[in-house]
C-alpha cells in the first residue's frame, strides 16, 4: 500500500497522535476554536455562512477533536451528528442543517466530503481511544461511500460530490466532480476499513486531476469540474469557473498526505504574503484575495515546505476569525508541528 502511494507522489507521513502523545493542537487555541464555533449541543457552526452547520463542519470538528485529544468535545459533536444529520436511509449524512429553518434539515442530499471527514474522524478516534464502536461506524460509512458514491471518468474511479445531481445533468456535462473532495490522507485509512474498494486508485485519480489541470491557463483545477472528450479538466456548466473556497483545501490536503513539492507549484503561484487567491480559471483574473490568517497559513506552509521559508509568527497560533479559515489554520498547524516543526519555530521531536 505505502509503495503505491510513494509512486503516486504521496509519502503518507501523517501520524495522528493518540491519547498518550502530545496533542498537535494546543490547548489554548483549541479552547478558542470550541468557544467560537462549537455549540453546547455539539453543532459546529459555519459563522461565515448564516451560522448553518453541515456534514463538513461536523466532520472537521470530529477530526480536530482527535488531534486535540479532546474526547468530551468529540462525543458532543458526534452526538449532534448522529441525532441531527445521520437521518438518511443509507447511513450517510444530510449535508445542510439550518437553525433558522423548520425542519432544520434543508437539503437531505449528502455531501461526500462531509461523509468522508466524519468517517475519518471516527476511524482516528477509534484508534486513538480504543473504541471499537467508532471504528465500526467508520467502516460502515466508508463501505457505503465506496459502493454508492464512485463513478468512472476517463477510465478512472472518481468521487461523486453527492448521491443526487452530479451525473444525469440537464447540461449533459456529467459526471461533475469536485477536486477538493479528494482528502488524500483518508485513502490508506479507508483502504484498511474497506478493502473491497480500490481506494489507492481513487487517490491516484485525484493526483491525476491536479496534474491535468496544470496545462490550463491558470494551472488550477476549478472547484466544480468535468472532463471533456480528450480528458482535459474543465469547469462544469452551471457552476462558476473558479478556483475558490473549495479548492484552497487541495494544496493543504496534498501537503498533509506528503505530496511531492512539484504538485504544489500552481497553487503557490496564486498565493502571496497577502493570502491565497480566488481565481477565474478561464481568464486568470483574480476575483478575491483571501487574506484571513487561516488562508494565509496554507500559503505560508506551501512556501516553507517548498523553500524552507519559516511561517510568519502571527500565523503560528490559530486565529478564530471564521469557522472555515480557522479550521484550515488548525489543520495546517497540526501538519507543520508534526512534519516540519522548523516552519513554526519549534524543535524537531
Asked if the structure places residue 279 within a domain, the reply is no
**Distance from C-alpha of 220 to C-alpha of 71, rounded to nearest angstrom:** 38
Give the helix ranges, DSSP H, for the chain. Answer: 2-8, 27-37, 55-67, 71-80, 112-129, 132-148, 186-193, 199-213, 249-256, 265-269, 293-307, 323-339
Asked if the structure places residue 274 within a domain, the reply is no
At residue 22 the predicted structure's pLDDT band, cuts being 50, 70 and 90, is confident
242 close to 223: Cβ distance less than 8 angstroms: yes
Note the pLDDT tens digit of each residue in 224-257: 999 999 999 999 999 999 999 999 999 999 999 9
Provide DSSP, 41-104: TSPBPBTTTTTBEEHHHHHHHHHHHHHTT-HHHHHHHHHHIIIII--STTSPPPSEE-TTSSSS
Strand-pair partners of 152: 157
Q: How many domains does the chain have?
A: 1
What is the pTM for the complete model shown?
0.95
Range of the domain at 178: 13-247
**Distance from C-alpha of 282 to C-alpha of 225, rounded to nearest angstrom:** 12
pLDDT of amino acid 216:
86
Asked if the structure places residue 172 within a domain, the reply is yes
Asked if the structure places residue 272 within a domain, the reply is no
Q: Is 101 exposed, middle or buried (0-12, 13-18, 19+ CB in 10 A)?
A: exposed
Asked if the structure places residue 111 within a domain, the reply is yes
CATH code of the domain containing 229:
1.50.10.10
Q: What is the mean pLDDT of the chain?
A: 93
At residue 348 the predicted structure's pLDDT band, cuts being 50, 70 and 90, is confident
Asked if the structure places residue 67 within a domain, the reply is yes
312 close to 300: Cβ distance less than 8 angstroms: yes
**Distance from C-alpha of 69 to C-alpha of 300, rounded to nearest angstrom:** 26
Give phi and psi for 272, each to the nearest 5: -145, -170
Asked if the structure places residue 42 within a domain, the reply is yes
Asked if the structure places residue 298 within a domain, the reply is no
Least confident of 14-23, 144-153, 199-208, 224-233: 14-23
List residues with catalytic annotation. Answer: 56, 113
At residue 172 the predicted structure's pLDDT band, cuts being 50, 70 and 90, is confident
**Distance from C-alpha of 6 to C-alpha of 317, rounded to nearest angstrom:** 31
Amino acid at each position: 500500500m505505502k509503495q503505491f502511494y510513494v509512486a503516486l507522489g504521496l509519502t503518507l507521513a501523517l501520524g495522528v497522535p493518540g491519547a498518550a502523545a502530545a496533542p498537535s493542537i494546543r490547548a489554548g487555541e483549541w479552547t478558542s476554536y470550541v468557544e467560537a464555533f462549537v455549540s453546547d449541543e455539539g453543532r459546529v457552526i459555519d459563522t461565515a455562512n448564516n451560522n448553518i452547520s453541515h456534514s463538513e463542519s461536523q466532520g472537521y470538528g470530529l477530526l480536530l477533536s482527535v488531534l486535540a485529544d479532546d474526547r468530551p468535545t468529540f462525543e458532543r459533536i458526534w452526538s449532534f451528528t448522529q441525532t441531527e444529520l445521520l437521518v438518511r436511509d443509507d447511513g450517510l449524512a444530510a449535508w445542510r442543517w439550518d437553525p433558522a429553518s423548520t425542519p432544520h434539515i434543508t437539503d437531505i442530499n449528502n455531501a461526500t466530503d462531509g461523509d468522508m471527514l466524519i468517517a475519518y474522524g471516527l476511524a482516528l478516534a477509534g484508534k486513538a481511544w480504543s473504541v471499537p464502536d467508532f471504528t465500526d461506524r467508520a467502516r460502515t460509512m466508508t463501505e457505503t461511500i465506496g459502493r454508492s458514491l464512485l463513478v468512472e471518468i476517463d477510465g478512472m474511479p472518481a468521487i461523486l460530490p453527492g448521491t443526487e445531481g452530479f451525473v444525469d445533468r440537464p447540461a449533459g456535462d456529467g459526471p461533475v466532480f469536485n477536486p477538493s473532495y479528494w482528502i488524500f490522507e483518508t485513502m490508506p485509512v479507508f483502504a484498511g476499513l474497506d478493502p473491497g474498494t480500490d481506494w489507492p486508485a481513487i487517490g491516484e485519480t485525484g493526483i491525476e486531476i491536479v496534474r491535468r489541470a496544470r496545462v490550463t491557463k491558470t494551472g488550477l483545477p476549478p472547484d466544480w469540474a468535468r472532463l471533456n472528450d480528450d480528458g482535459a479538466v474543465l469547469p462544469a456548466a452551471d457552476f462558476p469557473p473558479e478556483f475558490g473556497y473549495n479548492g484552497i483545501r487541495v494544496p493543504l490536503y496534498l501537503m498533509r498526505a506528503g505530496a511531492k513539492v512539484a504538485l504544489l507549484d500552481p497553487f503557490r503561484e496564486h498565493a502571496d504574503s497577502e493570502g491565497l487567491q480566488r481565481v477565474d480559471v478561464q481568464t486568470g483574473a483574480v476575483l478575491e484575495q483571501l487574506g484571513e490568517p487561516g488562508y494565509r497559513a496554507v500559503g505560508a506552509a506551501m512556501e516553507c515546505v517548498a523553500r524552507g521559508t519559516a511561517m510568519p509568527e502571527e500565523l503560528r497560533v490559530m486565529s478564530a476569525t471564521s469557522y472555515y479559515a480557522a479550521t484550515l489554520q488548525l489543520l495546517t498547524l497540526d501538519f507543520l508541528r508534526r512534519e516540519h516543526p522548523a516552519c513554526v519555530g519549534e524543535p524537531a521531536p
